[in-house]
Structure 1
Amino acid sequence: MKNIDASQQKILDLYSNYALRNNKKPLNVFTFCEDNQISETDFYFYYANFVQLEGDYLRFFMNQALVLISEEENYQAQSAKHKLLSFYYTFFEQLTMNRSLIIYLLDSEKNDLQNIKKMWPLKKEFQIFVRSLEISEPMMDNTSESMAKIERFKNKGIEELYWGHFMATLKFWLDDTSSNFEKTDIFIEKSVDTSFELLDVKPLKKLVDLGKFLFNEKVKNNG
């Protein structure tokens, strides 16, 4: 988890203030630095361009969420499912407190979230977090090389599965118009529950329940 120092935080604050007031990027790094009385050297110490900088907001909010949940009582003793739920609820609380900024960063491209470069730092951090949950069974010491390769492939698949789930949740939150984004909380609960049921090969009831919820939301939104 990469920490953000005071100078980097200042650049992020200045950039978000400009973007939200003007609804666009600064003209270039030179004008941004000159207008805010910071040196280009300081900017380029942290970021190569504005796209890289924008990606750091999402990574920052994720790291904030991870710090907060790690401070919860008995967090380390919780199951992988409850750790994941705690992360989701806390992360989306962070996003909600900064919704105008997140809308600016993602709303114009929300239908193609998987492919935008500003998501890459977040994906890397998120997959490290999923790996730490040890959702899959650990390999035995006497596991053969071929079985070890299969296990590594399966674990990578789980990371990609949950990244896809995370992106679906982010898209749901962006589109959510319910009071206090309560429908996002329902989506998180039902979809995380379903994902663990699927891994346990007990999916049907939970999958149907999730499907009904999504179908009802689609009907309401299109009605």
Structure 2
Amino acid sequence: MNTVLTTGEPTSIFAFAKENNFEEADFYKHYSSFESLEKAIFKVFAKETIALLHKTDAYADYSAKDKLLSFYFTFFELLTANRSYVMLQFKGMKSDFSKLSVLKGLRAEFIDYINALNLEKIDFKHEKVNKIQDQTVAEGYWMQLLIILKFWVDDESPNFEKTDVFIEKSVKASFDIQQIAPVKSVIDLAKFLWKEKSPMMAK
């Protein structure tokens, strides 16, 4: 990160290794290219966020909503501490961050985190349908993270205060939408009407 920010993208892995006093072969033990290294950096941001959260004793007792809020706040604190590098990676990307290949590692780490939150969902009593639901929920939160990321990139408020407000409102809205009780009520009503309608249709 320091090399990219101070002298620009290295001309080769050989030159990068020589400049930093290590063997080129050592680089390939971990990464196949600079691109794979850049993907790993954003994945590390997520892993470091999760590690920091688990260092807080109270975190284990947080609700899923508070855990996600904590993740976002901590994650964007890390990004802010490395904003110059992050902004350089996003240079030229105006809106659709989902096309950024550099975020692939982050995406995998984040989706694993969302799945581990055990968010309340409807049990459809069908394995394939439940699996589709899990994927849809995870992808929805990934899109939420990308939207917040775009907001943070454009945020010009002091200490990125507007991003904090946006995070709170985004998470509240997503959990309000996901309220299971009203959805269950609708499903129960539909089942009742179907059972009542079936005998009538038979008559």
TM norm structure 2: 0.84
Aligned to 1:19: 4
Map residues 50-199 of structure 1 onto 2, 5 A cutoff: 50-137=34-121, 139=123, 143=125, 147-199=126-178
Report if the CA contact (8 A) 2:121-2:180 is conserved. Answer: no
Q: Distance in 1 between matches of 2:130 and 2:116?
A: 16
Amino acid at match of 2:168: E
How big is each residue's C-alpha offset from its partner over 1:189-218, in whole Å with a ceiling of 9 and x where there is no partner?
00000000011179xxxxxxxxxxxxxxxx
Amino acid at match of 2:159: N
What secondary structure is seen at the aligned counterpart in 2 of 1:180? helix
Tell which has more relative contact order, 1 or 2 (C-alpha 8 A, sep 6+).
2
What secondary structure is seen at the aligned counterpart in 2 of 1:26? coil
What secondary structure is seen at the aligned counterpart in 2 of 1:46? coil
CA RMSD of aligned residues (A): 1.9
Amino acid at match of 2:177: L
Aligned to 2:20: 36
Amino acid at match of 1:98: N
Report how far residue 106 of structure 1 moved.
1.8
Q: Distance in 1 between matches of 2:20 and 2:55?
A: 36
Report how far residue 107 of structure 1 moved.
3.0
Q: Distance in 2 between matches of 1:183 and 1:136?
A: 29
Report how far residue 117 of structure 1 moved.
1.6
TM norm structure 1: 0.77
Deviation above 2 Å: which 4+ runs of structure 1? 107-112, 136-140
Aligned length: 182
Report if the CA contact (8 A) 1:113-1:167 is conserved. Answer: yes
